[in-house]
């Protein structure tokens, strides 16, 4: 009986550890989903955000053009000739990306003219492809 009790204890502890380790990830996803649902700003507010963001990035020396795309104008399109994956990583982890989520943006599309990277803000995932598809 002792071996069965020990095995049961080990299994219970393992399941508890798994549950605790998944908890922050689940909370993050739930928080982001609720932010997107309740934080949908008007298309005028999103347009103003894009204009301000473009002005800010240009003042920092980044050659970028920012537009809105999609039926709901909920995609930020950044035409950035010198963009690298490290730039994309920095951007999607920045306060500006967090504000974009709160305003109802669902994705950010980066392009350098020959390649495009689409980052889904709600799923926190990215797809890369040639620009001319």
Q: Do residues 27 and 92 share a domain?
A: no
Q: What is the DSSP string of 29-86?
A: HHHHHHHHHH----HHHHHHHHHHHHHHHHHTT---EEEEETTTT-EEEEE-TT--HH
Q: Do residues 34 and 50 share a domain?
A: no
User: What mean pLDDT is reported for the chain?
Assistant: 81
Pairing of strands 75-79, 107-111: parallel
What token pair was written down for 15? 């399941």
Q: Do residues 9 and 63 share a domain?
A: no
- What is the C-alpha separation between 56 and 1, in angstroms, rounded? 68
Residue-wise pLDDT for 12-46, tens only, equals: 544 444 545 554 544 555 444 444 444 568 999 99
- List C-alpha distances in Å: 128 to 110, 111, 112: 9, 10, 12
Q: Which residues of the chain have pLDDT under 50?
A: 13-17, 19, 23, 25-26, 30-38
Domain range for residue 77? 43-130
User: pTM for the complete prediction?
Assistant: 0.68
- Counted domains in the chain: 2
Q: Do residues 34 and 49 share a domain?
A: no
Backbone angles phi, psi at 110, to 5 degrees: -105, 140
Q: Do residues 24 and 6 share a domain?
A: yes
Q: Do residues 59 and 111 share a domain?
A: yes
């Amino acid at each position: 009986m002792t071996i069965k009790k020990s095995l049961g204890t080990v299994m219970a502890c393992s399941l508890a550890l798994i549950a605790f380790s998944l908890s922050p990830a689940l909370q993050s996803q739930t928080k982001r989903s609720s932010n997107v649902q309740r934080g949908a700003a008007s298309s005028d507010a999103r347009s103003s955000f894009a204009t301000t963001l473009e002005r800010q990035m240009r003042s920092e020396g980044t050659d970028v053009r920012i537009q809105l795309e999609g039926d709901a104008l909920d995609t930020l399109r950044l035409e950035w000739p010198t963009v690298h994956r490290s730039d994309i990583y920095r951007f999607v982890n920045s306060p500006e990306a967090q504000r974009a989520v709160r305003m109802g943006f669902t994705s950010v599309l980066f392009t350098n003219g020959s390649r495009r990277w689409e980052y889904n803000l709600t799923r926190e995932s990215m797809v890369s492809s040639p620009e001319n598809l």
